[in-house]
């Protein structure tokens, strides 16, 4: 398989990249190429121009400031997976990253590329959603922040405008002492999730849950917050019965139709069990 013909630009600044995007409505950004290049080879994507970010300065940095982890557009999955400062600030990221493809793919694929690709079963969009993070887009009109809840629209569709570049993702650190967990089921290690669940819980000194953020991917057309689960577990002491009841309320969030991987009924069963496991393990894994 080979791609259709395309032009190639290798800008050296964000301004040049935006100019290249603005000048060609069929242009697409190339980051790590781990999703786009296979899609081009299969002719699922046929950009008229590739705008390669490899030479753009300033996009390869990860900075932690005021509790927010700012991940530049060319930061690879593996860079933040192995970054101990990132792990200290938000240990959920490393938990989730173990499920993202395989090491060679994580060596090339970027975090921001994964967010922009917006596969409904991808792990990093879910992490951005449950942590209440955002992305920063830059286009001809300047910069804007887009909250994760507003960014992911549908499978492989975001609210980024065609002439905008996502310059960085903003992932909040976890609140001190919060419990966290990431649970996933896929057919083979490294495959996209059939369903995955991320949990963050904050508990008071007597063990009562003060706040919970719970989300899932793979169960619909975009990652979703399981607000019924969040409400059900908040105010409880996370007993086995509390967790079981809260997990049960997740099944209505499955909107994916039957497909070659799983039926809707199976995904419901899976989601309830993944939520139960994630809440149980978050109860036992407070952040350092």
Ligand X SMILES: Cc1cc2nc3c(=O)[nH]c(=O)nc-3n(C[C@H](O)[C@H](O)[C@H](O)COP(=O)(O)OP(=O)(O)OC[C@H]3O[C@@H](n4cnc5c(N)ncnc54)[C@H](O)[C@@H]3O)c2cc1C
Per rule CB under 6 A, is residue 123 in the interface with ligand X?
yes
| 177 Cβ neighbours under 8 A, 6+ residues apart | 202, 203, 286, 287
Q: Beta 7-9 vs 49-52: how paired, if at all? A: parallel
Residue 211 CB, shortest distance to ligand X, in Å, is 27
Q: Which lies closer to ligand X via its Cβ, residue 126 or residue 243?
A: 126
**What DSSP designation does 31 have?**
S
Query: Order of strands, edge to edge, in the sheet holding 142-147?
Result: 62-65, 68-72, 165-172, 134-139, 142-147
Binding residue (CB under 6 A) for ligand X from 19, 70, 87, 105? 105
Per rule CB under 6 A, is residue 14 in the interface with ligand X?
no
Q: Which lies closer to ligand X via its Cβ, residue 23 or residue 67?
A: 23
**Hey, what's the torsion of the CAs at 14, 21, 48, 30, to 10 degrees?**
30
Binding residue (CB under 6 A) for ligand X from 166, 247, 275, 279? 166
Q: Which lies closer to ligand X via its Cβ, residue 192 or residue 212?
A: 192
Per rule CB under 6 A, is residue 101 in the interface with ligand X?
yes
Site for ligand X in 177-236 (CB under 6 A): 190-192
Cα–Cα distance for residue pair 143/140, rounded to 1 Å: 9
Instruction: Tell me the window of 78-86, 99-107, 195-203, 246-254 that interacts with ligand X (CB under 6 A).
Output: 99-107
Residue 187 burial by Cβ neighbours in a 10 Å radius (0-12, 13-18, 19+): exposed
Binding site for ligand X (CB under 6 A): 28-36, 38, 73, 100-101, 105, 109-110, 112-114, 116-117, 119, 122-124, 160, 165-166, 190-192
């Amino acid at each position: 398989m080979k791609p259709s013909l395309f032009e190639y630009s290798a800008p050296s600044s964000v301004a040049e990249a935006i100019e290249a995007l603005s000048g060609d409505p069929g242009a697409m950004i190339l980051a790590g190429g781990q999703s786009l290049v296979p899609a081009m080879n299969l002719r699922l994507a046929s950009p008229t121009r590739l705008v390669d970010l490899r030479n753009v300065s300033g996009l390869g940095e990860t900075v932690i400031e005021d509790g927010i982890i700012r991940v530049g557009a060319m930061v690879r999955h593996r860079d933040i997976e192995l970054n101990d400062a990132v792990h200290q600030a938000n240990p959920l990221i490393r938990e989730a990253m173990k499920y993202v493809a395989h090491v060679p793919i994580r060596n090339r694929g970027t975090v921001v590329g994964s967010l922009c690709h917006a596969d409904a079963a991808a792990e990093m969009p879910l992490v951005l959603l449950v942590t209440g993070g955002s992305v920063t887009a830059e286009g001809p009109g300047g910069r804007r922040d887009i909250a994760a809840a507003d960014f992911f629209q549908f499978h492989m569709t975001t609210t980024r405008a065609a002439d905008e570049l996502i310059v960085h993702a903003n992932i909040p650190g976890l609140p001190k002492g919060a419990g966290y967990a990431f649970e996933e089921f896929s057919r083979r290690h490294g495959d996209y999730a059939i369903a995955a669940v991320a949990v963050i819980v904050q508990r008071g000194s007597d063990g009562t849950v003060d706040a919970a953020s719970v989300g899932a991917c793979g169960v619909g057309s975009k990652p979703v917050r399981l607000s019924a689960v969040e409400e059900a577990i908040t105010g409880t002491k996370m007993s086995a019965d509390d967790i079981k009841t809260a997990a049960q309320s997740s099944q209505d969030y499955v909107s994916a139709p039957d497909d070659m991987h799983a039926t809707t009924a199976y995904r419901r069963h899976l989601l309830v069990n993944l939520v139960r496991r994630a809440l149980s393990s978050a109860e036992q894994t407070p952040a350092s």
